[in-house]
Amino acid sequence: MSASARRGAWAALAVALIWGVNVPVMKAAIATLHPFTFNALRLSCSVVVLALAELAARREARVPTPWGTVVFLALLTSVAYQALFIGGMARTSAGHTGFIVASGPLWTALAGRVMGVERVGARAWVGLGLAFLGTALVVTTAGGREATPLGNLLVVAAMVVWAVGTVHSRGVLQTFPAGRLAFLTSLVALPGHWLIAWPHLGELAAEQLDGAMWASIVYSGALSTGLAYVLWNASVRSVGPARTSAYTNLVPLVALAVAWAWLGERPTLDQLAGGALILIGIASWRTRR
């Protein structure tokens, strides 16, 4: 493995760990704060972090900005993805969310095949089929008010949107800096998130923004949608969208462990069976590729 590929693998691993912890962090935060308000605050934080990172990277050669791609990715992977993801998380459990996030490689492989970026061999479809069955089992597994089919479907929709954006970004990341792309897409998308949150800002009370809430906002904004976006784009550029997305297999394991210890969420047998099928299917697909 080349040095660039190793850096890409470590970047993808760091993203998986950050996102795994972020799932229960967000779930706990939106129990107190409206999901769209929390989204606007944390994404404002991520724009600040990404701007500082971009200023620190001014030594990189200037290249023309592909504004068409930036706006497209901003609408897709920032506005649409974030709204679907947090809307789904508000209606499902952290454990369900983590397992559905693990299905990301399935949707990335399908998007890559449809968009002609990456091909999937016939035998690899067996593994992807298992992952799809596991995703279907997790999606249809309800858990009272904490995990509804609608919430699960919204998270699936978010992962499909993210997969399309990941595959689409592969070409531009060959020539355009990963950190700059993350910053510009987040900056362009930020007004949209405040517009979505606007009807709910009147519900915001000062006592909701205590130290724990600000810690959640900073973690989720600075790390999960700040640093993690830079690392994700860098990994996609180094090792490709399929290998990068494969590391999301770790997200449900981390999310489940933290949610169990912190939020007291206990996974059901159906949920665990579906999650196992997802992980086995993705692992099988990776081997057969």
Residue type, 212: A
d(CA 4, CA 228): 18
pLDDT band at 285 (very low <50, low <70, confident <90, very high): low
What's the mean pLDDT when you consider all of the chain? 86
The answer to the question of residue 278 being in a domain is yes
The answer to the question of residue 206 being in a domain is no
The answer to the question of residue 132 being in a domain is yes
The answer to the question of residue 185 being in a domain is yes
Q: Is 283 exposed, middle or buried (0-12, 13-18, 19+ CB in 10 A)?
A: middle
Helices 178-197/35-56 angle, 10° precision: 150
pLDDT at 227: 87
pLDDT at 24: 94
d(CA 6, CA 24): 29
Radius of gyration of the chain (CA): 18
* Number of structural domains in the chain: 1
Give the closest residue to 95 by CA, choosing from 145, 32, 20.
20
Which one has a higher pLDDT value, 268 or 208?
A: 208
The answer to the question of residue 215 being in a domain is no
Range of the domain at 29: 3-199+220-288
Query: For 159-183, what is the mean pLDDT?
Result: 89
Query: For 166-186, what is the mean pLDDT?
Result: 88
- Give whole-number Cα distances, 48 to 23, 164, 199, in Å: 21, 26, 24
pLDDT at 120: 66
* % of the chain beyond a pLDDT of 90: 39
Q: Could you tell me where the DSSP H helices lie in 90-148?
A: 94-102, 104-114, 124-139
The string over 125-145, giving b where at least 16 C-beta atoms fall within 10 Å of a residue's C-beta and e elsewhere, is eebbebbbebbbbbbebbbee
The answer to the question of residue 204 being in a domain is no
Please give the structure tokens belonging to residue 268: 């059901």
pLDDT digits (tens, 9 = 90+) for 82-125: 999 999 999 998 888 988 888 888 888 889 888 877 776 767 77
The full DSSP string for 38-89 is: HHHHHHHHHHHHHHHHHHHTTTSPP----HHHHHHHIIIIIIIHHHHHHHHH
pLDDT digits (tens, 9 = 90+) for 187-231: 999 999 999 999 999 988 888 999 999 999 999 999 998 888 788
The answer to the question of residue 214 being in a domain is no
Q: What is the pTM of this model?
A: 0.84
Report which secondary-structure segment, H or E, holds 123.
none
The answer to the question of residue 211 being in a domain is no
Please give the structure tokens belonging to residue 217: 């906002």
Q: Are 227 and 18 in contact (CB under 8 A)?
A: yes
